[in-house]
Structure 1
Amino acid sequence: MKPRNSGMQNLINNLVKGTVLVGVVGFGLTACTNPSTPAGEEGYVYEKPRVFGEGGYQGTMKGPANYGVSLLRNEVVNIDMRPNTYTEKFRILANDDLNIQFDFHAVIGIQSGSVKTVVEEYGAENWYKRFVRETFRTYVRDIVQKYDSGELKTNREKIAKEVSLRLQSYLSTTPFKLANVVVGDINYPAIVANAVEKKLAAQQLLAEKETQKEIARKDAEIRVEEAKGIAQAQKIINATLTANYLQHEAINAQAKMAESPNHTTVYIPVGNNGVPLVKGAN
């Protein structure tokens, strides 16, 4: 004869088995992951530690890619491997103790296939802040402070090259590759900017004066040449005014006057060398 509580015991056992089964299924569903990596990035796949197992590094992948569905608690750290521009703003005392504001831009990429090293040795997504930023800023300050404020704009390419060479050397044994360094806008204090504007205005005015002076000089040269031409013409005319020529011109003039209706009487005394002397009627 069976005990009275045997039915109750069976019910309890079934409930426990069902609860365990649901728990196992639920755990399996929540533990499944499918890490993915977008284009241009590389993924570092790792397993989160659980009650059992050690977790840790599982593998890498180049985007776009999926690691695949797994019952393990796999996750991914994605690192952008493409060159990106990192901008730093500065306010630095130049060599002449003038406070200058400007930007510096560094274009840095990451060597393909190095995502594991970047994550495990250089701080993963924070690699720039942890490993590059302060060194980059130190190089800029050291080099800029060697120049007077007025020399910065004219030497910006030289400054960028000096910073670039030092930063390349620093990154040479790392996965990070420097593509370019550029000096951005350089801003002087207002008092300096005003002084520069006044200087430029004075230079422009001086240039205008020089132009006016050159125009006046050219005008004077033209007048001299005109005077020379007049003097030369007079010299030629004087050389051709012979007595015969003057007599001929006087006769022609008298002939025209005689034909003119404005003259009623004409006296023609004969002067030296037969040149007529002309006198109009009263």
Structure 2
Amino acid sequence: MFFIILGLLVITVSFFVAHGDSQAARFSGAIRIIGIVLALLGASLSMFKVVDAGHVGVKTLYGRVDDDVLYSGLNFINPLVEVTMFDVKTQNYTMSGNHDEGNKSGDDAIRILTSDGLEVTIDLSVLFSVRPNDAPNILKEIGDDYVDKIVRPVARTAIRDNAVSYEAVALYSTKRQEFQDKIFNAINKSFATRGLKLEQLLIRNVTLPESVRKTIESKINAEQDAQKMQFVLQKERQEAERKRVEAQGIADYQRILSTGLSDKQLEYQSILAQKEIALSPNTKVIIMGNGKNPVILGGN
């Protein structure tokens, strides 16, 4: 487009120069040729448009937006057409209280009021993309600054509208996933009517008021102490049960020894022991006395 405008200017200048003498006329002819070459060069260059990967181009001619988009690659277009590029890859818009994490500098976290009247601070990341075929409508109805006009305000409003149904502690713990799902549905519905696609929503941090946070921490510590005491008591009960079973076994064994062995059983056990000694390779001396049990003297 630059060369076309420059060529037209050069051609216009050549007409003013042509009103002089013959030498000036010849000079104006040369200028006119240069202008024509520049215009033709600009037209030829403007007829080809390269669209990068992950982008689409939206054509505009004298303020009128064309509904057909240009896809990635080399495209042949009207040289008078202006092309606005739209990024159709996944984009991440983060609102965070940390100064170096969000899309805007400084503290950009979302502050909300819960159903119990407490102020909770939330860090949020919105992953979205532009639907390629809807890029012309976005340019016509919103413009190319759709992030500031749609993504940011819709996300912040959805969080605030849904937070009023939850207590602060519930958002921090048991209802966090449910809250995130509701926000996702609200934002996704709004994005869909504006040519955007919500891919994922991440509640990154939920910061409670200091007083509530300390109360929760005290409760968690108390529950942990109670669980630890239950474990100790359970272990002591198991140890007491083990000692009781052991004592009962010893008592049963002593009772069997005192009441359950007869003379015949003792004599049989003695015979077995004598047989084992007799079969031993060591030398031994057996003294048979008048008693029932012999005296055995062994040696190497």
Equivalent runs, 1:50-65 vs 2, <5 Å: 54=62, 56-57=64-65, 60-65=69-74
- Counterpart selection for 1:155 from 171, 175, 193: 175
Measured in 2, the distance between the counterparts of 1:78 and 1:240 equals 100
Specify the structure having the higher radius of gyration (Cα): 1
Q: Secondary structure at the match of 2:110?
A: strand
Deviations 1:129-181 (A, max 9, x none): 22343122111111122211111132222112212222233344442222333
- Asked if 1:110 is matched to 2:125, the reply is no
C-alpha separation between the residues in 2 aligned to 1:30 and 1:204? 76
Write out per-residue CA displacement over residues 116-139 of structure 1, whole angstroms, 9 at most, x where no aligned residue: 22211221x212322343122111
Letter in 1 for 2:183: V
1:119 is aligned to 2:131: no
Specify whether residues 56 and 224 from structure 1 end up closer, same or farther in structure 2 by C-alpha distance, changes over 3 A only: closer
**Change beyond 3 A, Cα 1:67–1:236:** same
Q: CA offsets, 1:94-137, max 9 Å, x none?
A: 223333222223332333322222211221x2123223431221
Aligned to 1:134: 153
Q: Where does structure 2 lack aligned partners over 5 or more consecutive residues?
A: 1-19, 96-108, 265-300
> Are residue 226 (structure 1) and residue 246 (structure 2) matched?
yes
SS in 1 for 2:221: helix
Q: Please, which of 76, 85, 99 is the counterpart of residue 67 of structure 1?
A: 76
Letter in 2 for 1:143: N
- Structure 1, 157-166 or 233-242: larger mean CA deviation: 233-242
* 2:86 counterpart (63, 75, 79): 79
1:14 aligns to 2:3 (yes or no): no
Separation in 2 of the partners of 1:76 and 1:21? 29
Please list every run of 5 or more consecutive structure 1 residues that lacks an aligned counterpart in the other structure: 1-7, 48-53, 246-282
The SS at the match of 1:113 is helix
Partner of 1:255: none
Aligned equivalents of 2:259, 2:60: Cα separation in 1? 114
Q: Secondary structure of the equivalent of 1:39?
A: coil
Q: CA deviation at 1:229?
A: 3.2
Q: Could you tell me how far 1:61 is from its partner in structure 2?
A: 0.9
Q: 1:175-214 to 2 correspondence within 5 Å?
A: 175-214=195-234
1:43 to 1:232, Cα distance in 2 relative to 1, 3 A? same
RMSD: 3.2
Measured at CA, do residues 56 and 24 of structure 1 come closer, stay the same or move farther in structure 2, by a change above 3 Å? farther
SS of residue paired to 2:145 = helix
**Secondary structure in 2 matching 1:114:** helix
Kindly state the Cα deviation for residue 234 of structure 1 after the two structures are TM-superposed: 4.5
Q: 1:35 aligns with which of 20, 43, 49?
A: 49
- Return the TM-score normalized by structure 2: 0.64
Amino acid at match of 2:94: T
1:272 aligned residue: none
Q: Does the 8 A contact of 2:65 with 2:140 survive in 1? A: no
**Code of the aligned partner of 2:196:** F
1:36 and 1:228, CA in 2 relative to 1: closer, same or farther beyond 3 A? same
**Matched residue of 2:132: which SS?**
coil
DSSP-derived class of the 2:162 partner: helix
The CA distance in 1 between the partners of 2:63 and 2:180, in whole Å, is 45
Are the counterparts in 2 of residues 35 and 74 from structure 1 also a CA contact under 8 Å?
no
Asked if residue 91 in structure 1 is aligned to residue 106 in structure 2, the reply is no
